[in-house]
């Protein structure tokens, strides 16, 4: 194996060609699935825009709206990496999108937790968030606000 001359990024160009090939193949074979995923991903910042128009938003809720952009970016990058054939990085980023999405819902009505996380580097625990969502009081609250939710 010969060493490329200085200044040539041969390995990176080869990887780029391979990823481009994988991406092109994925996009042509799964047109409907990819289109659906894009529409759903693009809906996330739209939800943030709709929420931002609400008159009664608190300071922490307005701050939390930026999390929707993070979710969108993570989902988009995850789909891109997966289509390029990079399954493990795609899964890691998709997991982060799930965690940020759960955190957005979790923090929405818990200002003390939001400010602890935002200004005091308080870590969020995914299992605690899931327990919160499973709490009968939380479920009753969601059902009262959204009677069509089962």
Number of folded domains in the chain?
A: 1
Does residue 133 belong to any structural domain of this protein? no
Q: Report the C-alpha gap between 123 and 135 in whole angstroms.
A: 21
Render pLDDT for 99-150 as a digit per residue (tens, 0 to 9): 999 999 999 999 999 999 999 999 999 999 999 999 999 999 999 988 887 7
Q: Which of 129, 118, 126, 122 is nearest to 63 (CA)?
A: 118
Domain of residue 97 covers: 10-108
Render pLDDT for 44-86 as a digit per residue (tens, 0 to 9): 999 999 999 999 999 999 999 999 999 999 999 999 999 888 9
Categorise residue 121: left if φ over 0, alpha if ψ from -120 to 50, beta otherwise.
Answer: left
Does residue 82 belong to any structural domain of this protein? yes
Does residue 125 belong to any structural domain of this protein? no
Does residue 87 belong to any structural domain of this protein? yes
Q: From the CB of residue 114, how many other CB atoms can be counted at a distance below 10 Å?
A: 22
Does residue 49 belong to any structural domain of this protein? yes
């Amino acid at each position: 194996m010969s060493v490329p001359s200085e200044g040539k990024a041969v390995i990176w160009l080869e990887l780029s060609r391979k990823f481009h090939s994988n991406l092109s193949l994925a996009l042509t074979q799964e047109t409907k699935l990819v289109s659906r995923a894009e529409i759903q991903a693009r809906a996330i910042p739209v939800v943030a825009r709709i929420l931002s128009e609400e008159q009664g938003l608190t300071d922490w809720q307005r701050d939390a709206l930026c999390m929707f952009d993070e979710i969108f970016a993570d989902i988009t990058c995850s789909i891109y990496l997966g289509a390029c054939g990079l399954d493990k990085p795609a899964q890691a980023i998709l997991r982060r999108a799930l965690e940020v999405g759960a955190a957005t819902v979790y923090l929405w009505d818990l200002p003390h937790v939001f400010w602890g996380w935002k200004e005091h580097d308080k870590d969020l625990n995914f299992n605690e968030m899931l327990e919160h969502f499973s709490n009968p009081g939380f479920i009753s609250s969601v059902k009262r606000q959204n009677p069509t939710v089962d």
